[in-house]
Structure 1
Amino acid sequence: MPYLWKAGVPVLVAAAVYFLPVPGGVDPTGMRMLGIFLGTILGLILQPLPTGAVALIGMAAAMLTKTESAARALAGFANTTVWLIVAAFFIAEGFLITGLGRRIALLFVTRLGRSTLGLSYGMALTDLILAPATPSNTARCGGVVFPVVASLSRLEDSHPEPEESRKRLGAFLTLTALQVNVVTSAMFLTAMAGNPVAQAAARDFGIEISWGRWALAAMVPGAVSLIAVPWVMSKIYPPTVDKTPEAPDEARAQLREAGPMSRHEWIMAATFVLLLLLWCLGDFLDIDATTAAFTGIAVLLITGVLSWKNLADNTSAWSTLVFFGVLVGMAAELNELGVIDWIGESVAGSVDALPWLAAFAILTTVYFYSHYLFASNTAHIVAMYGVFVGAAIATGAPPLFAALVFGFIGSLFGGLAHYSSGPAGVIYGSGYVKTAELFRIGFRMSVLNIAIWTSIGGLWMKVLGIW
C-alpha cells in the first residue's frame, strides 16, 4: 500500500496538470511538460522507487508522449554543470579513501576539544575546510564529521539510549553538526550539489555567478553564522556535559595510531589546494570550474589515489548524473516553452504592488519555508529556484543580488526537518536526536540564519556593490 500511494500521487498530479488549458504565452506542449516535470519532482520527494529510477521514468514519459524528443530529453546529460557535480563527488571520495578528512577533524579536536563547545567549533572548522571540494554535503557530514562526533560521544559515555546518555553530549554535537553543515553548504558554489544547478539557472537570466563571486558574497554572513551557531546551540540545546578533558588525548591517540600522513594523503592535500586555486582564479586563467574539477580527478587517477573502480563504484555520483541530467533537460524545456516565464509572472503579480524590498522579503520567506514540502535541497532548487528568482527580478530586485540570495537559501533550509536534506537524514538516523527536537531546533536555527544572512549578509553585499 505505501508503494501504491507514493506512486499514485505523482501520476495523478502529472495527469491533472498535463490536461490543463494552455495559458497565453505558453507553447501548446508546455502544460504537458509541466505535468510530467511536477510528477517527476513529486516522485523524487515520495520515493516510490530510487531517485535515478524515478528520473528515468519521467524522461521516458516525456519522450513517449512526444512532449520531448529523445535528443532534447537527453540534452541535460551534456550539461557541464551536471558533470561538475559528478566530478566533485569523485574528488570527495578522495578525502574519504585517503583518510585525510578524518585526520583534519582529529587535529582540530586536539586543539579545541577540552570543552563541548570547543569540540563543536572543531567540527565546524573541519566542515568549513572540506566544504569547497565536497559538493556532497551528505558525504561531508556523514562520512567525515559524524564518525568523529560519534566516537567523541562514546568517549564521554553518550549513546542514543537511554535519554540521559544521549543528552550528555551526542545529541548536542550531532544536531550542531547538521546546523553547521547547512551554513558551510551555502558558502561555496561547490559545497552542495544543488548550488551549481542554481548557478546554471541564474545564467538563463543572463546572470553570471563565478565560484569566487559566490564565495566572496557568502564569506561574511557565513563566518558570522559559523561563530554563532555552536554558541546559540549550546544555549538552546545544551549538553549535560560541558567539559571533555579526555577528548584531545583520545584524538592524539588516534592520530598516533594512524601514523604520519601517507603519500596519498599528501597528494590529496596538494590536489585540494590546486583545485581551490583553479576555482578561485578560473576567470583569470580562462579555466572553467568543470575543467578544473576533471583536472583534479586526472591527477588523482594518475597518482593512484583514486582508481577507476573507485569511480565506477560511486553509485551516488552516477545516480546524481541520471537525476540531474533528466531534470536539467526538463527544466530547460520548460524554459523554452515559456512555462517558467508564465509562472514567474504569476508569482510576481501577487506582490507587484509592493516595494521591491517588501516583495523580496515575502518571496524569500515563502521559498525558504516551502522546503517543508521537499525531501531534497536539489529537488527544491530545480523545481522553484528559477521561478522565484524571475519573480524577484520582475518586482525590481537587483538580478545578481536575487540570484545569490536564493542560491544561499537553497542550502540554508536543509536543517528544517529530519527529511530536509541528506545530512539531516544522517543525523536523525543516528538516534541521538528525536523528531520533535529536530523540527523545533531546526525552525529556531532557521530564524537565526535568516536574521544573520539578511542583516549582515545584506549589508556586506551592499558594500560589494551587488545591490
Structure 2
Amino acid sequence: MSLRYYLRGEMNMRIDFRKIGMGLGPLLFVIIYFVPALTGLEASPRAVLAVTAWVATWWITEALPIPATSLLPIFLLPLAGGTDQATATMAYGNPIVFMYMGGFTIALGIEKWNLHKRIAMTIIALLGTSSSRIIMGVGLATAFLSMWISNAATALMMLPIALALIKEIKDKEFLKEDSFQKFAKGLLLTVAYSASIGGLATIVGSVPNAALVAVASNMLGQEITFADWFTFGIIVTVILLVVLYIYITKIKFKVTDEGNISSGFAREQLKELGPMSTEEKFVLTIFSLTGLLWIFGGFLPFELSDTTISMLGATTLFVIPNTKGGRLLDWFDMKGLSWGLLLLFGGGLSLAAAFESSGLTVWFGDILSNLDRFNYLLILIILTATVLFMTEIMSNTAVSNMLMPISVGLAAGIGVEPYGIMAVVALASSCAFMLPISTPPNAAVFGADLLDIEDMMKAGFWMNMVGIVVIVFAVYVLQPIFLSY
C-alpha cells in the first residue's frame, strides 16, 4: 500500500499524503541540490541524491501514479547533471525488464486458458479431506502460482475459490459455528499470506527480487540467474509456508471438532472444466519448459540467459495456433500486461545506474562505515525489522527501489559482501502481513468481510516476527552458501 491512503486519528482528522508528497518531493530536491553544505557532495552525486529524494517521495506517497513517477529519472537526471542521457535511459531496456515482460506474458497465457484454476483445483482435490488439509492445499496452490504470477493476481484468482469452499462447508454444516469461523478466517489469511510468501522463491514472483537481480547486474557487474536465486529463495518460502500452516491450523485458528470434509467441490470444478483443452496442454508445456530452463539452463552446453528463455517462451505463445482460429495469445491480450511495472523497474534501475556512475554509492558507504562497530548479525536483525515494518505502510516496490542501491553502499561501509544486505531488503519488503492495506492480497481477503482487523493484525504480527527470524537465518546462514560470488 502507500501513504496515499488516509490515516484516521482519534479526532477523525484526515491527511491526504498525496498532496503533501506532491510539494515535498520537489522541495527536497531543491534543498539537497542547492545547499551543497548539507551533504558535502560534488555536483554530480548531489544531483543524483536530490533526484532520488524527489522520486522516492512521490513513489512513497503516490503523488502521481507510480509508473508515471518512474519516468522522472529520464529527464531529471541529465537536466540536474547527475548522469548523461544514455545512462539514464538505457536502464529502461535492461535485460531484467524484458525477462519480467516475458514472465508476465506467459502468466497472461496461463490465465487466458484457465490453466491456473485447473492447477489450483487439482492440488485441493488431492489434499482436501479435512479443514486443515484444505487449508494446506489452498496454501500450496496459492504459493505455487505466486512464484510465476504477481501476488495480487494470484490472490484475486484464489479468493473466489476460497470463498466457494467456505460456502460449501457452511451449507453442508461440516463444522460447528465456532470451528467454521476459525476455518474461514484461517483459509482467507492463508490465501493472503501464501500469495506473498510464494513470490519469494523466484525472481519473477516478486518485484523486490527482480530489483535485486537488476541492481546486482548494474552496480556490481554480477549476473544472478533464476537458478541462483531459486536455490536460496525456495528454502525461505518452504520454511515460511510450514510455519504458516502450523500457526494457522494448530495455534491461531485451530479447529477442535475437525471432521471429514469432502473435497468434492474441487472435483466438481475440475469436472466443469472438462478434459484439458489443446490450448491448456500447449500453455502448460511452454510454462513447464520455461521453468525447467530457468532452473537447469546453466547445465546446458551453450549459454542461455534467463531473459532469452523468458522471451522465447513468451514469443512461442504468439506462434502456436489455437483451435478457435487465433493464436494462444493475440496482441489484444497484451492489454492485460503490467506495463506500468516495467516502467517502475526502469526508473529504479535508472537511479541505480546513476548511483554507480556518479560515485554516490561510495558516499553512502563512507557514511555507513561507522556501523562496522556493530555485530553483523545485529545489523541484519535491525535492518530486517526496519524494512519489514516500513513495507506495512509503504509499497514494497517503493521500499525496494529506494533501498536496494543504498544497501550496496551499506555493505561496503560495514565491510561485508553486498548480497546479504540486498537479500534482506528484497525478502523483508515482500513480507507485510499485519494490515489490510499492506499488500494487495491482504486487501483482497479483507474485502470479503469475513475477517476483523484484529484477526489480521494479531496473526500478521506473529507472522512478521517469524519472518524476521527466518529472513535473518536465511541471510546469515544460507546466503553465503547459495548466493555468494
TM tier relative to shorter chain: 0.7 to 0.9
Which of 79, 97, 116 matches 2:131? 116
1:267 is aligned to 282
1:282 is aligned to 297
Deviation at 1:261, TM superposition (A): 0.7
Amino acid at match of 1:156: I
C-alpha distance in 1 between matches for 2:461 and 2:73? 33
C-alpha distance in 1 between matches for 2:295 and 2:314? 18
Which of 194, 201, 207 matches 1:180? 194
1:427 is aligned to 445
2:151 is aligned to 137
Q: Does 1:397 align with 2:410?
A: no
Distance change (3 Å), C-alpha of 1:247 and 1:319? farther
Amino acid at match of 1:148: I
1:297 is aligned to 314
Contact 1:13 1:39 in 2 (8 A): yes
Amino acid at match of 2:264: D
1:408 is aligned to 427
Contact 2:124 2:263 in 1 (8 A): yes
Alignment deviations for residues 99-144 of structure 1 (CA, whole Å, 9 cap, x no partner): 111111111221222322212211222134324432x22222223x
C-alpha distance in 2 between matches for 1:23 and 1:6? 21
Deviation at 1:389, TM superposition (A): 4.0
Q: Does 1:385 align with 2:404?
A: yes
1:85-124 map, 5 Å: 85-124=100-139
C-alpha distance in 1 between matches for 2:140 and 2:369? 39
1:153 is aligned to 166
Contact 2:392 2:433 in 1 (8 A): no
2:332 is aligned to 309
Amino acid at match of 2:407: F
Structure 2 regions of 5+ residues with no counterpart?
A: 1-14, 172-176, 321-326
Q: Matched residue of 1:133: which SS?
A: coil
Deviation at 1:58, TM superposition (A): 5.6
Q: Matched residue of 1:153: which SS?
A: helix
C-alpha distance in 2 between matches for 1:84 and 1:432? 38
Distance change (3 Å), C-alpha of 1:215 and 1:237? same
C-alpha distance in 2 between matches for 1:89 and 1:253? 30
Q: Matched residue of 1:167: which SS?
A: helix
Contact 2:380 2:424 in 1 (8 A): no
Deviation at 1:249, TM superposition (A): 0.9
Between the aligned residues of both structures, percent identity stands at 24
Alignment deviations for residues 182-226 of structure 1 (CA, whole Å, 9 cap, x no partner): 321111222112212101212323444221121112333432221
1:109-258 map, 5 Å: 109-134=124-149, 136-143=150-157, 145-157=158-170, 167-203=181-217, 204-238=219-253, 243=258, 245=260, 248-258=263-273
C-alpha distance in 2 between matches for 1:18 and 1:422? 36
Q: What RMSD in Å do the two structures reach over aligned CA positions?
A: 3.0
Amino acid at match of 2:311: F
C-alpha distance in 2 between matches for 1:9 and 1:244? 57
Amino acid at match of 2:61: L
Structure 1 regions of 5+ residues with no counterpart?
A: none
Amino acid at match of 2:48: M
Which of 364, 369, 387 matches 1:367? 387
Deviation at 1:298, TM superposition (A): 1.4
Contact 1:40 1:55 in 2 (8 A): yes
Distance change (3 Å), C-alpha of 1:440 and 1:254? same
Distance change (3 Å), C-alpha of 1:42 and 1:276? same
Q: Matched residue of 2:373: which SS?
A: coil
Contact 1:352 1:359 in 2 (8 A): no
**TM-score, length-scaled by structure 1:** 0.87
C-alpha distance in 2 between matches for 1:7 and 1:259? 52
1:327-338 map, 5 Å: 327-338=348-359
Distance change (3 Å), C-alpha of 1:25 and 1:390? same
Contact 2:294 2:309 in 1 (8 A): yes
